[in-house]
Amino acid sequence: MKYNWNWGIFWQPAADGSGTWLHYLLVGVVWTLGTALAAWLIALAAGSVLGVMRTTPSKWAVRFGNAYVEFFRNVPLLVQMFLWFFVLPELLPTAIGDWIKQMPPPWSAYLPAVLCLGFYTAARVAEQVRAGIQSLPRGQMMAGTAVGFTLPQAYRYVILPQAYRIILPPLTSEFLNIIKNSSIALTIGLLELTARARAMSEFTFQVFEAFTAATVLYLLINIVVVFGMRWVERRLAVPGLIAVGGAPQAGH
Amino acid sequence: MLASFDWDVIQRSLPYLFREGMTFTVTLTVLAMFFGIILGTLLAMMRLSSFKPLAVAAGGYVNLMRSVPLVLVIFWFYFLVPYIGAWILRQNEPIKVGAFLSSVVTFTLFEAAYYCEIMRAGIQSIPRGQVWAGYALGLNYWQTMGNVVLPQAFRNMMPVLLTQTIILFQDTSLVYVLSITDFLGAASKIAQRDGRLVEMYLFVAVVYFIISYFLSYLVKRLQLRIAVPGKL
């Protein structure tokens, strides 16, 4: 079989003149993490609000939360990416649309990518938050209101501190998902890790070296996140509060 | 502003979108589901095997696949499959592999990792006593698995397997990165040719939504039907 391996390629200067190919890929890691973290803030905030809404007594809040989750779950992420990038600027008032379209790269791709990943993952976080809240015994909410808490107070001091601890493991895998999903932003021109590995393979023809490097970098990111979250779980664990084992779920 | 849109473009391209694009998407989904579930079940059996090297190999494969983005896996196999083909056929040059075969291989191998985790949970949901009962009757490993454990595991996991398949259906849109004419790829080609990005992408979103929503609804009904009252 003919393939000319050349692992030294990583120390050769990259085509964009910024440094070596290794440096070029590492900048991709920064963009991947920068996109994922910014999107995660949106996902966590919006997902928490939506998840709580779906457990409140208000029928309309529940309906809105359900509709949101159904919409974002049933449209492929790539199509959503195109909706944010190509379609939204056209549907907004002309002035705002033009402002978005005229943003200098890479921000013109970064902003839609962050919004897309954030609001998509929010639907998945909302599902976890709802499941976490509903896994608590009903007596918790009743006890909260019985001691005189208002509904927001009962959520803040009784329900949510327990629910978040229960859903930490699934939230970790959602965070890993958002890192992996950020690679879809390459379709709208964001030069994150996968896009850079692809570009490197096209410039140098060292296809397998480039993809091996990207794979190893993704694995390293995964390991760091998993161990980091285990540490967080241990720090936040409350003795005697039993974690609820999750049922198998479909997902990525 | 909506007046400047040309919704006719959708009607004009319907035959192309569905006959070319959607056919590709559905064929790819069905094949990858079929082979993915078979391979995933085998991987799950390997992962639960008492023979350690087998369990470690399967576990390593599954964790590797689940740690990298699908887009990267698609790129990997797009370049790797010609070499694997040359290796299998004992040829010196990488063989030419069509986009379709390449994507079937990619999605089968990728989704198998996810199906594996579902089937592993399914197999573990069967009480160990049933396996022992199988052995006590004189059945061997394959007979016990095939006649006792797997039929029940499939039944228990059917809703999750189908939900994973809906995700697979949506994921096939990522073959876009190889410029393949799946449903999204077809729409994207028309969109760029006619300069009708807004209309086409909105239409694609609506079609994907309707199909996925309808399929999830069917899965939910199936789940209610096969649920044993009082169990789980």
Prediction pTM value = 0.90
* Digit-coded pLDDT (tens) for A166-196: 899 999 999 999 999 999 999 999 999 999 9
Helix ranges, A83-137 (H) = 88-91, 94-101, 107-134
Q: Is the pLDDT of residue A245 over 70?
A: no
Report the SS3 class of residue A13: strand
Structure tokens at A195: 């896009």
Residue of B nearest to A209 (CA): B76
pLDDT of residue B229: 63
CA atoms of A202 and A136, how far apart (whole Å): 52
Structure tokens at A252: 């990525």
pLDDT of residue B185: 93
When CB atoms are compared, the residue of B163, B177, B197 closest to A250 is: B163
Structure tokens at B156: 């228990």
Mean pLDDT of chain A: 90
**Would the CB atoms of A76 and B86 count as touching at under 8 Å?**
no
- Interface test with chain B among A2, A4, A82, by most B beta carbons within 10 Å: A82
The highest-level CATH class for domain A13-236 is: mainly alpha
ipTM of the complex in this document: 0.90
Structure-derived torsion over alpha carbons of residues A150, A155, A158, A162, reported in degrees to the nearest 10:
180
When CB atoms are compared, the residue of B177, B198, B216 closest to A86 is: B198
**What does residue B134 show for φ and ψ, rounded to 5 degrees?**
-60, -50
Nearest CA-CA partner of B25 in B138, B176, B143:
B176
When CB atoms are compared, the residue of A1, A77, A201 closest to B83 is: A1
**Would the CB atoms of B69 and A194 count as touching at under 8 Å?**
yes
When CB atoms are compared, the residue of B164, B166, B184 closest to A78 is: B184
Q: Does residue A135 sit at the B interface (CB-CB below 8 Å)?
A: no
pLDDT of residue A150: 93
pLDDT of residue A129: 95
Q: Does residue B76 sit at the A interface (CB-CB below 8 Å)?
A: yes
- Could you report the average pLDDT of every consecutive run of 10 residues in chain B (232 residues)? 71 87 94 97 95 95 94 92 85 82 94 96 93 94 94 92 95 93 93 89 95 94 77 51
- CA–chain centroid gap for A103, Å, is 23
Q: Does residue B87 sit at the A interface (CB-CB below 8 Å)?
A: yes
pLDDT of residue A249: 66
* 3-class SS string, chain B: CHHHCCCHHHHHHHHHHHHHHHHHHHHHHHHHHHHHHHHHHHHHHHHCCCCHHHHHHHHHHHHHHHHCCHHHHHHHHHHHHHHHHHHHCCCCCCCCCCHHHHHHHHHHHHHHHHHHHHHHHHHHCCCHHHHHHHHHCCCCHHHHHHHHHHHHHHHHHHHHHHHHHHHHHHHHHHHHHHCCCCHHHHHHHHHHHHCCHHHHHHHHHHHHHHHHHHHHHHHHHHHHHHCCCCCC
The rounded percent of chain A whose pLDDT value lies above 70 is 94
**Would the CB atoms of A183 and B198 count as touching at under 8 Å?**
no
When CB atoms are compared, the residue of A87, A186, A247 closest to B197 is: A87
**Would the CB atoms of A3 and B83 count as touching at under 8 Å?**
yes
CATH superfamily of B2-226: MetI-like (1.10.3720.10)
The residue extents of the domains of chain A are 13-236
Angle, CA A116 vertex, CA A110 and CA A118 arms, to 5°: 95
The rounded percent of chain A whose pLDDT value lies above 90 is 72
Q: Is the pLDDT of residue A17 over 80?
A: no
Q: Does residue B175 sit at the A interface (CB-CB below 8 Å)?
A: no
Question: Quick one: pLDDT band at residue A248, thresholds 50, 70, 90?
Answer: low
Q: Does residue A227 sit at the B interface (CB-CB below 8 Å)?
A: no
Residue of A nearest to B78 (CA): A207
- Interface test with chain A among B67, B88, B165, by most A beta carbons within 10 Å: B67
Weakest mean pLDDT among A68-72, A103-107, B29-33, B103-107: A103-107
Chain A: give the shortest CA distance to residue B138, in Å: 32
pLDDT of residue A181: 96
The residue extents of the domains of chain B are 2-226
